[in-house]
C-alpha cells in the first residue's frame, strides 16, 4: 500500500495514497477487476467505520437503513486519520485503511426527475460513489412488502438519464448508476405483463437507454431460479451486462436447501452484492446478548463482554472507544495547532492496564 503525508496529521504519520481518489472511479475499477464487489449494509457512521476497519470493498446504505439511523460519508475520511495515528502514548501502532466507496439507496428519486436532479447533486457533493434508483411510484414500498406499483418505463428512463446528466455536469463521469426494477412482484404497472416476464422486459428497456452501469432486479424470495433466469435472459441481448444483487436480510438464507453462492452470482454477471441490513441485525443481536447478561448477571454481564473484547488475538477496534473515536488524534493534532485544552498535556497519568 502506497502511503502519503497529509497536513491533517503530525509529521511522520501517513495515510493511503488513495485518500483523494474519486470514490466512483475506485468502485468502477473494482467492478472491472473483481468477480464481484461485496458491501455489507450499514445504518450509521460507526457501522461504516467498522466495515472500513475490517477491509471490505464498499459500504452500502439502504433506504430502510436511512430510516433506522443516519447517513454519513465524511466520517470515513476522519476515521482514516484516526487510525493512521494509532495511539503513540499507549504504543498502539498506526493502521492504514483504504476508504471504501459508499453506495446508497435513492429510492424512487423522491419525486419527479427534478427531484432526482437535486438528490444526485447532494449525493455527489457528499462523496457518494454510486446510487440506485427504482421504478416504483411514489410513495414507494419496501421491495419485500406487497402492493408495489410501477411508473411508466419511459418516465423511469428519463430519471436515469437525469442522473447521468447531473453527474456529467458536475464532472463525475465515473459515478455509477444502478437501475432497479420491482417488476417481479409489482401488482400494478402500465404493461399487461407481470412477474418475471415484466421484470426482464423492464430490464432490457433500461439497458437500451445506455445509462445504467448495473441492473438490479428485486426478488421476493431467495430462490435461485428467478435470479438465474433473469440474468440469462438479459444477457441474450446484452452479453456484457452487469448486475447488482440484494442478498436480502428479509430472507432466512439458512433455511434454503440450495442457497445460491456469491461465486455463482459472480459467474452470472453480478458485479455488486450487498446485504441490506447486515449490521442492523448484528447490532441487535449483540446488544440483546449484552442486555440479557446485564439483566441476569449484573456487573458480570458487562465484564464478560470486556473479556471477549480484550481476549488475546481479538480484533475488536471498538474495545477502546477512545482510540476508535479519535482521542489520540485529537490530542496530537491539538498540540500541533496550539489548542492546549485538546492537547496531550491534559493527562491524568492513569495505569494503562486499567483503562481503555
What are the residue numbers of the active site?
Answer: 142
User: Could you tell me which residues are beta bridge partners of residue 246?
Assistant: 274
> Pseudo-torsion of CA 293, 317, 338, 3, nearest 10°?
-170
Cβ–Cβ under 8 Å, residues 289 and 301:
no
Copy the grid coordinates of residue 216: 438490479
- Reply yes or no: is the peptide bond before residue 139 cis, omega within 30 of 0: yes
Distances (CA, A) of 350 to 51, 186, 313, 353: 31, 61, 24, 9
Helix (H, G, I), strand (E, B) or coil at 346: coil
Q: Give the rounded distance of the alpha carbon of 27 from its chain centre.
A: 12
Cβ–Cβ under 8 Å, residues 60 and 274:
yes
Cβ atoms < 10 Å from Cβ of 141: 16
Helix (H, G, I), strand (E, B) or coil at 103: strand
Cβ–Cβ under 8 Å, residues 75 and 53:
no
Amino acid at each position: 500500500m502506497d502511503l502519503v503525508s497529509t497536513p491533517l496529521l503530525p509529521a511522520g504519520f501517513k495515510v493511503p495514497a488513495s485518500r483523494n481518489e474519486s470514490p466512483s472511479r475506485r468502485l468502477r475499477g473494482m467492478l472491472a477487476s473483481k468477480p464481484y464487489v461485496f458491501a455489507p449494509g450499514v445504518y450509521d457512521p460507526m457501522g461504516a467505520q467498522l466495515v472500513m476497519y475490517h477491509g471490505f470493498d464498499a459500504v452500502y446504505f439502504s433506504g430502510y437503513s436511512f430510516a433506522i439511523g443516519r447517513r454519513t460519508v465524511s466520517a470515513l475520511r476522519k476515521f482514516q486519520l484516526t487510525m493512521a495515528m494509532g495511539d503513540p502514548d499507549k504504543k498502539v501502532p498506526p493502521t492504514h485503511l483504504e476508504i471504501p466507496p459508499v453506495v446508497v439507496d435513492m429510492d424512487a428519486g423522491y419525486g419527479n426527475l427534478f427531484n432526482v436532479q437535486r438528490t444526485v447533486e447532494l449525493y455527489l457533493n457528499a462523496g457518494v460513489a454510486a446510487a440506485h434508483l427504482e421504478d416504483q411510484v411514489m410513495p414507494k414500498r419496501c421491495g419485500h412488502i406487497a402492493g408495489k406499483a410501477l411508473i411508466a418505463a419511459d418516465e423511469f428512463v428519463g430519471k436515469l438519464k437525469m442522473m447521468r446528466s447531473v453527474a456529467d455536469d458536475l464532472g463525475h463521469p465515473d459515478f455509477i448508476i444502478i437501475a432497479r426494477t420491482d417488476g417481479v412482484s409489482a401488482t400494478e404497472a402500465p404493461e399487461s405483463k407481470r412477474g418475471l416476464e415484466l421484470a426482464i422486459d423492464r430490464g432490457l428497456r433500461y439497458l437500451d437507454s445506455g445509462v445504467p452501469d448495473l441492473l438490479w432486479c428485486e426478488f421476493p424470495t431467495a430462490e435461485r431460479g428467478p435470479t438465474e433466469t433473469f440474468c440469462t435472459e438479459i444477457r441474450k441481448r446484452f452479453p456484457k451486462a452487469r448486475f447488482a444483487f440484494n442478498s436480502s436480510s428479509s430472507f432466512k438464507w439458512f433455511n434454503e436447501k440450495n442457497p445460491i453462492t456469491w461465486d455463482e452470482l459472480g459467474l452470472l454477471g453480478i458485479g455488486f452484492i450487498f446485504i441490506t441490513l447486515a449490521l442492523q441485525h448484528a447490532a441487535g443481536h449483540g446488544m440483546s446478548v449484552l442486555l440479557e447478561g446485564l439483566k441476569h448477571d449484573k456487573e458480570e454481564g458487562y465484564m464478560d463482554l470486556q473479556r471477549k473484547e480484550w481476549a488475546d488475538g481479538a480484533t475488536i477496534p471498538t474495545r477502546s472507544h477512545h482510540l476508535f473515536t479519535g482521542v489520540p488524534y485529537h490530542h496530537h493534532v491539538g498540540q500541533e495547532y496550539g489548542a492546549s485544552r485538546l492537547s496531550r498535556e491534559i493527562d491524568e497519568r492513569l495505569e494503562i492496564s486499567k483503562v481503555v
